[in-house]
A and B are shown apart, each in its own frame.
Chain A
């Protein structure tokens, strides 16, 4: 018999009053709603897991998961509608809206948000490729995600391009078939004569004004470059489109038109024809970058395409601007550097450099002669080569392909990345890895199948074992980060690491999120990585197959280059796109205006909203007038918990009449034990926790009120009970806590479920608290699942006495951790808290079984 059936029995007919919906129906609905709530959250997490790369899935999986999710969410809304008829009809609209977007994605019609015509570089996100073009999207990732220096500026988007073509009525000409070179010529002329739509003109004006301070008191000068849709992705269109250097603002519009016109040059049309790209797929974004007054410029290939087996990178460099080198007019210096730190120089070919290109004051460029003492001098010093090599490999590791990078060294001696695109070396690579199996077998395996993959990929480097409190600034680029925990403190080192191994940790934790962000191959929970590996030891982390090799297995790294990165696969992109409509939680604070059906942007939002409102409805007085027979009673406790109890049968003594009830009148087994735990001496700390400035600010930015215990919050705690059952919804401080348990003498039916989420203060403290909770739960035999700062613990099938001990422990935990996120100021605090907890429970829990 399930819990459900039992409850149904308890609520057998006989208590009917003049309410519209019988309480038994309402309760059953609520119960179903909670079940769906948990199912949805689990399903969201399960879909998110697929991004890690451990799983093989196909499109069918994505489609059926979305279907399942959609059905659950719809039923969830329906449940709330049963509890509060017609009160939240807006949810159906929200559901339709989100579901429609998901269906469009699945049907292959990506929902591109109507983007602005002009977007500053710093606000470009990873998925803006469609509107900013491939080249700028790559560069923006390098700057906005990897944090590497790139020129400031903005992009005139593909939205602007379409508006321009529309405004000047050029589309019709383009759609004429067949599209000949002559038609291209006509289109170019039309573009040339065209004028900017007023909106675009205004947006440009505004953006230029905002950019001016970056140029200081100097004239604003821009490099204007094509960034076509799909350029620098699968198709490089290398050198097909026009670009202009050092243009004054007055010439921007003219240059813009010439760049987009170059999309219809004979060579571009021919290129598209050969690649099967249709003319109406053309969408040209144009990047406008602040001119870099370069001392040296050049191109770097992270792997020499002519001799990939040598494992060297190639740098070509000239004095001044890089245009003459890029266009092939001058050869420039050529340096070969070993790809492995410390990047020994393996070849130095210094050319005689007589002239150089330099930006002219006021705009344009000029050719200057190179001072004699520089003509035979290498453009880069050894130290500069080293810095450049490290930067380049950070980019390669991120994009998981050898890269072709355009760079400049400015007068302040800072390297600036101008452009990066994948080098296509598929064929060369295939030869290098043909005997992979034999080669790999020569390397000793240190770990195999130990730990969990958090981010796939392969990385090789020297082991650096980090302590929790070490400064991460000095982490050597390209090394393998080995740590005990997945501490958020390590985050700083992540972009520089070739790979990450940790002794403990969860593949869905915070660290894993960061590793995924930077695509650094990561295996967590390896066990004894810090003990077995030696600092300085060269290892290869194969986070594809979950193997760690002794030595640098270059063949494996090369093998990676030959594969399509998982992140670039259609399925990966599709699941990430649909997840955006499903997983993010935007509704955080129930007191926000935004906390409404209209504010729901994802299925997670809807789920959160429905749960909150369902609990609220059950706490609502009117509701209890409507559904008499199950009166809500306030529990009188020695701690300020503000708990409302709804007895569904046998949970309270029959003598418990009136609006308040004493703790000793509670019969419900799970509730009694939980309360016991909560009020154990010392657990419910009565000392007010001082909120330091950091967390105070953090709480403000999350728009919570700064007080930790407003009466409003205290009113949000509800226990639905019967003799054997309890569903406890708590909102303490700022986190949500659910405990659901059933305990009887039938061992096989017994279970307890604990869920903990949210909280004031920054992510670092919250994830420390999650770690603490997880470790404490595990120490008490719970099966634990941590996802970010969500902690779920489950236990089942213990005998009554042991179940009750577990409930008491949960009571302890609830009381003990209610404000812990505020105190979690350091990692050491986690250990301290664990000890305190153990000390407190030692007296309260007679024995560990």
Chain B
């Protein structure tokens, strides 16, 4: 993490319990985190601000995770996207999103596991910046 600016993370999951449990872990690790359960709000937010890392569910009630993540990549190609999704949809998720997605994590996951992936994504973002 650079000294001057915290790494910006956005989490989108329609199950609030997911980001409620993830947000503190990321915050304590030094990230600035914004969390959303509605894609429309999250969508608006990515229009206003570039995030370094976006963590999103794919299959959500009334929300198209795919559309969201496509939009994120379109607006800000440097942003790394991590997909968290139910175990059952994992394979489909991997097939359809291999391009552009930094990594996948099946729910339920341990908080440490997500933290590790976010760290790697952050490193990649930083690396790109240095080039």
Q: What residues of chain A have their CB less than 8 Å away from a CB belonging to chain B?
A: 50, 54-61, 64, 436-437, 440-441, 449, 542, 544-546, 556, 559, 563-564, 566, 569-571
Contact = CB atoms under 8 A, between A and B. Distances in A.
A55 B110 CA distance: 4
B28 A544 contact: yes
6 contacts: A56-B22, A64-B86, A441-B30, A559-B28, A563-B20, A569-B17
B28 A56 contact: no
Contact of B112 (A50, A64, A449, A569): A449
B108 A559 contact: no
Contacts of B107: 56-58, 60-61
B18 interface: yes
A545 to B, nearest CB: 6
B111 A437 contact: no
Contacts of B110: 54-56
A57 to B, nearest CB: 4
A545 B108 contact: no
A57 B108 contact: yes
B108 A571 contact: no
Contact of B17 (A441, A449, A545, A570): A570
A544 B108 contact: no
Contacts of B29: 437, 545
Chain B binding surface, main DSSP class? helix
Contacts of B18: 56, 58
A571 B20 CA distance: 12
| A-B pairs, 8 with minimum CB distance | A57-B108, A58-B15, A437-B30, A55-B108, A56-B21, A571-B17, A61-B108, A54-B110
Interface in B77-108: 86-88, 107-108
Contacts of A449: 112
A566 B21 contact: yes
Interface residues of B, number: 26
Given A544-B25, A545-B28, A61 B86 contact: yes
A50 B108 contact: yes
Contacts of A570: 17
A441 B28 CA distance: 9
Nearest to B116: A449
A559 B29 CA distance: 13
Contacts of A556: 28
B15 A59 contact: yes
B5 to A, nearest CB: 12
A62 to B, nearest CB: 10
Contacts of B112: 54, 449, 545-546
Interface in B3-53: 6, 13, 15, 17-18, 20-22, 24-25, 27-31
Contacts of B20: 563-564, 569
Contacts of B6: 437
A566 B110 CA distance: 14
B114 interface: yes
Nearest to B88: A64
Report which residue of A50, A436, A556 has the largest number of chain B beta carbons within 10 angstroms of its beta carbon. A436
B67 to A, nearest CB: 20
Contacts of B108: 50, 55-58, 61
A436 B28 contact: yes
Interface in B104-131: 107-112, 114-115
Nearest to B105: A56
A333 to B, nearest CB: 38
Contacts of A436: 27-28
B17 A58 contact: yes
Given A50-B108, A60-B15, A437-B6, 12 more contacts: A58-B15, A60-B86, A60-B107, A64-B87, A437-B28, A437-B31, A441-B30, A544-B25, A544-B28, A545-B29, A545-B112, A571-B17
Nearest to A49: B108
A502 to B, nearest CB: 19
